[in-house]
Structure 1
Amino acid sequence: MTSIILLSIFGIVNLFVGFVKSKRILLPLAILFLVVVFGVNLLDWNNTQTYFSNMLTIDNYAVAFTGIMTLTTILLLPFSKRYADEEDENLAEYYSLLLFALVGAIMMVGYENIIMLFIGIEILSIAMYVVAGSNKKSLRSNEAALKYFLMGSFFTGIMLFGIVMIYAATGTFNITEIGAAQIATDGVMNSMFILGLLMIVIGISFKISAAPFHFWTPDVYEGTPTFFTAFMSTVVKTAGVAAFFKLMAAAFAASYVAWFPTLIAITVLTLVVGNIGAVVQNSAKRMLAYSSISHAGYLLMSLIAFNESSASSILFYSLAYATASIAAFGVLMLVSDQRGSHTYDAFNGLGRTNPLLAFAMTVSMLSLAGIPLTAGFFAKFFVFSAVLQDSSLMWLIIIAVILAAVGIYYYFRVVIAMYMQPVENKERIQVSSLASLTLIVITVLTILLGIAPALVSDIL
């Protein structure tokens, strides 16, 4: 709860600081705010507290995911230095929106009441609708914001209908009480409960870009400024999957038989669409958008496993995916800003002109592909191990492994371009010392988690 209060205060303070003549103070100030929140959040470990008449609970589950989302934002902010250097007039608003979005994300991992989950989703979503269209001079950015807002509003309505039906069937919004409610196996109440559950699954699946509700993702990710795309791909997805698992575990565990077929179909379709869709892309940014869809599928596999290993595998996968994605989007942003393209050709010869950028991008691609000695390898290993506890799901593992092999193809296209393609543009990419340091930290963290995964995997 302290983290939510601090983020809200810091977001407002940041808006007032935006009136100062120089915008350069905003970046270090935003990082300082988040470092304070990260430290304060850790103080709540092993200190479970409930708030708002038991509508919000800050326990170890919430603290762990809040820590990952806050750390992700801290590592992402250095790549916004271009906005500060150019004295962007809206920089204070951008940072405040990210701080407010984190408030919604924390509510999504700490809720005990479905209404609190809905409020958290809306706080997070409204901030994302705004930043998606933040580049007002770009037609693609305007299109991305409009698509995201209209589709997001539509699916929010579907989820709200589902929440109302769950309340009608159980008489409560509390997820623990919903889980304990006795629903008749037939009749109107049971039908209403199942339909409400299905609508909630559809609503959250849209938020995490799970197929077949993924159709907005490639266009929105491509049109949104890359800095904010990275936030969508990491923090929004982490909050969505963590909220999804908590909801199913606390409220709908007894209905496992009812939602399992639907969710496993969504998972398989997400894996197929994400990986196959990424193969045919010529834009590295759209490839990362489809990659984000595929990783939603791997995260959903942990939810399908639905055992004692699920929470820890989701936590580790979220951290591994977030660090790799920040590096990937960060390098992409630097390259595209100075070479004017999101295509694979923009990376040609990067290994010769900018060895650090090329190495960080290589480690990122290897981690996203699940290659050993990177965090991504153990992320997939823990997910597969959780699923394998149910031997009847062996077929799902086989499909996931085959599609993971497909992923190696499109991730390595970037690596090949950096090291094996001729240098078309010999100009060196200009990188700030802060961005370089951040890339080094992310790369070291990715390799460290690939060597000693127990540093995080045993937290939950």
Structure 2
Amino acid sequence: MNIIITITVTALVVLYAGLFKAKKALLPLTLLGLLTSLAFVVTAWNTDQTYYGMMQMDNFALAFTGLTIAGTFLIFMLTQNYFAANSENIAEYFTLILFALAGIVIMVSYQNMSMLFIGLEIMSVSLYILAGIRKSNFASNEAALKYFLMGAFSTGFLLFGITLIYGATGSFDLEVINKYLVGNYQAISPMFYPGVILLIIGLCFKIGAAPFHFWVPDVYEGSPTLITTFMATVVKTAGFAAFLRLFAGTFAPLHDFWLPPLMGIVCLTLLIGNVTALFQKNFKRMLTYSSVSHAGYLLFSLITLTASSASNVLVYASAYTFATIIAFAVLILVKQRTGNDNFESFNGLAKRNPFTALMLTVAMLSLAGIPLTAGFIGKYLMFVNVMSEYQVYLVAFAILNALVGFYYYFKVIVAMYFKEGHDTELQTPFQYQLVLVLSVVITIILGVYPSVILNLI
């Protein structure tokens, strides 16, 4: 609870600091609040606290909370010279991101499905505003409208599913629902099954899994790049944590029922995400479809439920988060210098800025799943997890899709090192350098020593 209070208080303090025109204090106050929240995560480890049966701060919740706070911290470090060039209302950006993070913490720690809905809505409402916060930008307005409409539509599915689950069990509490499934395995209410399907649809909308991903490309492309970074990393991680807590824990006794539709979603997500990314000429849009494909890999953790499913998701989500932050950080720098985000903008980057090119190369290798990077370990854990149940054909399908991913990730590397580009120098501010170095170090450490976080949960 201290974590949520700290984040919320930080958001309010930052808002009032903006009201009194203390622009230089906004970032230090925000980073201090996030560091304090991380300290509470560390001190709460192994305590397993439950708050009025509504939220449970166990190691699962704390691990994903720590990852989302760390990702948000790095994203805030990228705000140098970003918001100031486009808006005078910088405090509103900071405050809304912090409120979204507070909702995310509730999402990863809920013990009652009403708290899942509350956390989801706190996060979503903040993101609707953030997506369209550039009022004079048509693409940003379009992104906000599409996100709002599709978000409201998916929330309807989620609420209807929760309603049916409550009608069948008489409770929103996850533990009570799980006991109902175990105790009435042969006589489960007919309302329960459509409730589970509707919850799958609602959560798949939120994480951007196919065929419920149609909002993702336009929303990610039209939103400010820094907000896209937040949605593609922190928000997606929170969605999977919520998905995992519900289905790997509470609904595990019905695994045989919801496994076939989930496998269909996994295959569609991998195929659509990778094949569509293959034909993109815009780097930001390629990363968008890449995020869709990674949603498919993360869903592997639910195909075969084991004691290590949560740990595997944590490793994969960490690898994806830090590599994606690197990619978007470099994209921000390149777009500020060249004015567009096509692949051609990266031509010759290795000559103009070898350091930035090297950082982006590591990120692309990790996203592609090359050994000695965290991305390789993440994919390996997911594939081994499924192989234990002899789902050989599914793993072979996923590996073929991963090979497709090699092509579009390496297209960026080829552009940077083997193509002639602009002569304009690309400067990397100190805060960007710090974020890139930290993210690359974490990516390599997790690739070589995954046990650092593999045994946390």
The alignment's TM-score, normalised by the length of structure 2, stands at 0.97
CA positional deviation for 1:84 = 5.5
In the other structure, the counterpart of 2:349 is 350
Matches within 5 A, 1:413-452: 413-423=411-421, 425-452=422-449
In the other structure, the counterpart of 1:277 is 276
Q: In 2, are the aligned partners of 1:369 and 1:411 still within 8 Å (CA)?
A: yes
For 2:405, which of 393, 407, 410 is the aligned residue? 407
How far apart, CA to CA, are the structure 2 residues paired with 1:313 and 1:196?
27
How far apart, CA to CA, are the structure 1 residues paired with 2:352 and 2:307?
47
In the other structure, the counterpart of 1:170 is 169
User: One-letter code of the match for 2:334?
Assistant: V
1:188-234 deviation line (CA, Å, top 9, x unaligned): x6321111110011000000000000010011000001000000001
Q: In 2, are the aligned partners of 1:23 and 1:88 still within 8 Å (CA)?
A: no
How far apart, CA to CA, are the structure 1 residues paired with 2:264 and 2:61?
28
SS of residue paired to 2:82: helix
Which 4+ runs in 1 deviate beyond 4 A? Answer: 182-186
User: One-letter code of the match for 1:428?
Assistant: E
How far apart, CA to CA, are the structure 1 residues paired with 2:254 and 2:32?
44
SS of residue paired to 1:50: strand
CA positional deviation for 1:438 = 1.4
User: One-letter code of the match for 2:335?
Assistant: S
In the other structure, the counterpart of 2:308 is 309
In the other structure, the counterpart of 1:367 is 366
CA positional deviation for 1:307 = 1.0
How far apart, CA to CA, are the structure 1 residues paired with 2:250 and 2:372?
37
In the other structure, the counterpart of 1:82 is 81
SS of residue paired to 1:211: coil
CA positional deviation for 1:85 = 4.8
How far apart, CA to CA, are the structure 2 residues paired with 1:23 and 1:414?
36
SS of residue paired to 1:447: helix
How far apart, CA to CA, are the structure 1 residues paired with 2:292 and 2:279?
14
In the other structure, the counterpart of 2:9 is 9
CA positional deviation for 1:10 = 0.7
In the other structure, the counterpart of 1:34 is 34
How far apart, CA to CA, are the structure 1 residues paired with 2:420 and 2:289?
27
User: One-letter code of the match for 1:382?
Assistant: L
CA positional deviation for 1:28 = 2.2
Matches within 5 A, 1:68-147: 68-83=67-82, 85-86=84-85, 88-147=87-146
User: One-letter code of the match for 2:403?
Assistant: A
CA positional deviation for 1:150 = 0.4
Paired residues, number: 455
In the other structure, the counterpart of 2:384 is 385
User: One-letter code of the match for 2:76?
Assistant: L
Q: In 2, are the aligned partners of 1:170 and 1:183 still within 8 Å (CA)?
A: no
SS of residue paired to 2:50: strand
Q: In 1, are the aligned partners of 2:10 and 2:29 still within 8 Å (CA)?
A: no
CA positional deviation for 1:365 = 0.3
SS of residue paired to 2:56: strand
How far apart, CA to CA, are the structure 1 residues paired with 2:40 and 2:111?
21
CA positional deviation for 1:184 = 6.8
CA positional deviation for 1:251 = 1.9
Pair 1:324 & 2:323 matched = yes
Gaps (5+ residues) in structure 1?
Answer: none
How far apart, CA to CA, are the structure 1 residues paired with 2:32 and 2:354?
30
SS of residue paired to 2:136: coil
Q: In 2, are the aligned partners of 1:303 and 1:310 still within 8 Å (CA)?
A: yes
In the other structure, the counterpart of 1:50 is 50
How far apart, CA to CA, are the structure 1 residues paired with 2:301 and 2:67?
18
- Deviates most, 249-258 or 17-26: 17-26
Q: In 1, are the aligned partners of 2:113 and 2:172 still within 8 Å (CA)?
A: yes
Task: Among all aligned residue pairs of Structure 1 and Structure 2, give the percentage whose two residues are the same amino acid.
Answer: 47
Q: CA RMSD in A?
A: 1.3
The alignment's TM-score, normalised by the length of structure 1, stands at 0.97
Q: In 2, are the aligned partners of 1:23 and 1:87 still within 8 Å (CA)?
A: no
Gaps (5+ residues) in structure 2?
Answer: none
User: One-letter code of the match for 1:395?
Assistant: Y
Q: In 1, are the aligned partners of 2:54 and 2:111 still within 8 Å (CA)?
A: yes
User: One-letter code of the match for 1:123?
Assistant: I
How far apart, CA to CA, are the structure 1 residues paired with 2:319 and 2:285?
20
Q: In 2, are the aligned partners of 1:328 and 1:361 still within 8 Å (CA)?
A: yes
SS of residue paired to 1:83: coil
Q: In 2, are the aligned partners of 1:22 and 1:87 still within 8 Å (CA)?
A: no
Q: In 2, are the aligned partners of 1:23 and 1:84 still within 8 Å (CA)?
A: no
How far apart, CA to CA, are the structure 1 residues paired with 2:2 and 2:218?
36
1:15-61 deviation line (CA, Å, top 9, x unaligned): 0011233523212221121111111111110111111x211010111
C-alpha spacing 1:146/1:87, structure 2 compared with 1 (3 Å) = closer
How far apart, CA to CA, are the structure 1 residues paired with 2:330 and 2:134?
20
Pair 1:228 & 2:251 matched = no
How far apart, CA to CA, are the structure 2 residues paired with 1:191 and 1:399?
34
CA positional deviation for 1:257 = 1.3
How far apart, CA to CA, are the structure 2 residues paired with 1:73 and 1:171?
37
